[in-house]
Every structure is written in C-alpha cells, then in structure tokens.
Amino acid sequence: MTRTLLRATILAAMTGLMAGNAAAADYRLNPYSLAYEGAISTNAAGQVNIYPVVYPLNGVEIAANIYTPAGYPSAGSYPAVVVAHPNGGVKEQVAGLYAQRLAEQGYIAITADAAYQGGSGGTPRNVDKPAFRIEDIHGMADFISRYPGVDNARLGLLGLCGGGGYSLAAAATDKRFRAVATISMFNSGRVRRNGYADSQLQTIQHRLRQASDARAQEAARGEVLYSGDANLSEEQIASLPFDLYRQGYEYYWKTHAHPRSTFRYTTSSLMDLMRWDATDQMALVDQPLLMIAGTKADSLYMSEDAFAKATGTEDKELFTLDGATHIETYWVPRYVNAAVSKLATFYARTLAPATTGERS
C-alpha cells in the first residue's frame, strides 16, 4: 500500500471538518488555548468556569479541563458528564465546546487529552490504541467522580467522533455511566481495517504487514514510524473523495487549528486498531443510549450499524440532524444548538436524581 493510501485511511479516522465558511476560532487569543467560538476567556463568579487539572493514569500524566455550571458549588450536588474527544482532536476543540455547553445546562463536565496525545504525557508521542482510549474514559470517570460537588451516581458519557466509538466500548463494561450519548460516532477500528466506507478491503493484509514491521523497528530501538502525516495542497484537498476528509482539513488545519491536534499516530498502533471494532460486544450496553448524527454525514453508516447492534437496551434513539455533515456537528451553530438541546433533554431524564427502588 502506498504512503498516500495510508494517509487517506488515517484522515478518515480522524474527523473531518465543516463545509462552507467557518468563523476562525484562534487558540492564541484564548488564555486557555480554547479553539471554538464562544469559549470561556476568564473565570467569573456566577458564570460557567473552567479549571485545568492534571492527574495520573497508569503512570501517565493526563491533562484535562473541568467545566463547572454557573453558581457552582452552591447547588451542592451536580450530575457530571465525561466528554471524549475525536481522533486527532484535543480537549480545546469540539470536546471543549460540548463540555462548556453542558455546563451551561447545569452539568459538571470533564474532557481530557488522550494519553500519549495532546497535552497529556506518554512516549512515544501519538500512540493511538483502543485500549488506551477506553482507559482514558474510565480514568476521567475515576477523577470526576471524586470532584467536589459531583453526584457520582449521576454520571453520563458523551463521545465525539472516534471518542464516540470508544465511549460505546467503555460503557459496555463501565456501569458507573448511567447514560451514554455519541455525536458523529466514528468506528476507528472498522475504518483503519477496511478503509473509509469500506473502500480498502483489498489492502488489509498489506497494511497489517506495514504495522508489524513498524513495531519490529520500534522493538529494535529504531525510528518510530508514523502514519497520518499530511501536508496537502488546496487542489489535493479538494480532490479528496469524502466530505470527512475535505472538511477535516478545514477544521483541524485552518479554522479551529490547535498546535497539539494532529492526525499523526504511530504506524504500529494499527496492529491494535485493525483487530478492534467499536461494535464488538455492543449488546453489553444496557444503559440509555442516544446517538446523534447528520443526515448528510458520510460517516452516518457507522452510527446506524452500532445502533442496530445495541440490542442490550430498549431505551435508545438515533437522532439525525437534517442536512448536517460529520464535521458540521462540531461547529455550525444550528447543528450544535440542536444537538445540545437533545442532549439536555436526554441527560435530564436519564441522570435525574435516583428515587427509592431506582438504579443508583
């Protein structure tokens, strides 16, 4: 398989971006380096506030942001939501946007950079393995459950793009999460294995050999090889076959760029990614499930597939945003507002205070 083909596989798994003209969200103008419109720029009494934190997880320092509701901590006990970022993304981008919007709805929200990625520790950099990403979600639950004011019996989960696939896997066994939601869910294993829209089925074994050779080189203390590096011209971007690819460049390289956000990951990670699938053991998800995706998203097939396999819960809904592409759910106000409204209704019901006889 050519390096170009490997790059295309990676780009799909990352996340894409928006179509049309997006207002720039310059991280350099925000004291917390947040790269989304309407981001918090200062903490103030009676407002939604942000608190950067660092905590250890399996020997790796995890960098996270916690968003608290207006008036915190006067209400005493708050429901909380763990927010898992997209592949290639960092906590300062779309994950931060949704965490902030959930805090506006009265939730304490946490979003953290994955281990080996973003502002978190770990070497080599940009290892991207499902087991690590799932453990990151468990680790966020560990930390936020002990955070002052959090009612750890009212814990929800929200996964964005690749973080959505990992959230489904985390919720399958982590029953601290009373409810799970995804936005533009991306099945990283399926795409790394089969290509986007199952377009690379004929090169699976070749790519596995590349990943195996990369691991052997690492074991021999040789150079760490990476996939997903991309520096395409405007013409090359325009010729990419999927909205996810084209819009991904616009979002991650231009309008919502952040220096710690990258499509790059160790080639050896493919050994783990290609044997994994977000829908494995999907029937173990027995919590209320909300999946949100755009009707024009070329990634919609992944949400539809996971939703069909979610046979362990009867409380489930696939909610579509009419006209939205994958990355437009990251930043277009009408789609973000619609998604937040749906999430607020979902979490208000599923994370309501437990009464006698209810599951806690």
Structure-token pair, residue 214: 């990369």
Q: 162-171 burial by CB neighbour count: b if 16+ within 10 A, else e?
A: bbbbbbbbbb
Q: Superfamily assignment of 3-350 in CATH?
A: Alpha/Beta hydrolase fold, catalytic domain (3.40.50.1820)
The DSSP line for 277-304 is: -TTTTGGG--S-EEEEEETT-TTHHHHH
Count of CB atoms situated within 10 Å of the CB of 286: 15
Prediction pTM value: 0.92
DSSP 86: P
Count of CB atoms situated within 10 Å of the CB of 327: 32
Whether the per-residue pLDDT at 9 is higher than 50: the answer is no
**In DSSP terms, which residues pair with 60 in a beta bridge?**
57
- For the chain, the average pLDDT equals 92
Whether the per-residue pLDDT at 290 is higher than 60: the answer is yes
CA distance 319 to 292: 5
CA distance 200 to 10: 12
Higher pLDDT, 234 or 143: 143
Query: Which among 172, 135, 33, 157 has a CA at the least distance from the CA of 84?
Result: 157
Confidence (pLDDT) at 245: 87
Helix (H, G, I), strand (E, B) or coil at 165: helix
Distance (Å) of CA 289 to CA 39, 315, 354: 28, 6, 18
What average pLDDT does range 154-178 have in this prediction?
98
Whether the per-residue pLDDT at 265 is higher than 50: the answer is yes
pLDDT band at residue 281, thresholds of 50, 70 and 90? very high
CA distance 87 to 116: 12
Name the strands in the sheet holding 316-321, side by side, starting at the edge strand that comes first in the sequence: 49-57, 60-68, 108-112, 78-84, 150-160, 177-183, 289-294, 316-321
Percent of the chain clearing pLDDT 70 (strictly above): 92
Whether the per-residue pLDDT at 69 is higher than 90: the answer is yes
Whether the per-residue pLDDT at 348 is higher than 90: the answer is yes
Whether the per-residue pLDDT at 177 is higher than 80: the answer is yes
Domain limits, the chain: 3-350
User: Over the stretch 84-135, which tens digit does the pLDDT of each residue have?
Assistant: 999 999 999 999 999 999 999 999 999 999 999 999 999 999 999 999 999 9
Whether the per-residue pLDDT at 76 is higher than 90: the answer is no
Structure-token pair, residue 32: 């917390």
Contact 191, 88 (CB under 8 A): no
Whether omega before 259 lies within 30 degrees of 0, making that bond cis, reads: no
User: Over the stretch 307-338, which tens digit does the pLDDT of each residue have?
Assistant: 999 999 999 999 999 999 999 999 999 999 99
Helix (H, G, I), strand (E, B) or coil at 159: strand
Contact 162, 15 (CB under 8 A): yes
Confidence (pLDDT) at 237: 82
Whether the per-residue pLDDT at 8 is higher than 50: the answer is no
Can you give 173-191 as a three-state secondary structure string? HCCCEEEEEEECCCCHHHH
Structure-token pair, residue 8: 């295309």
Structure-token pair, residue 91: 């906590």
Q: If 0-12 CB within 10 Å is exposed, 13-18 middle and 19+ buried, where does residue 65 land?
A: buried
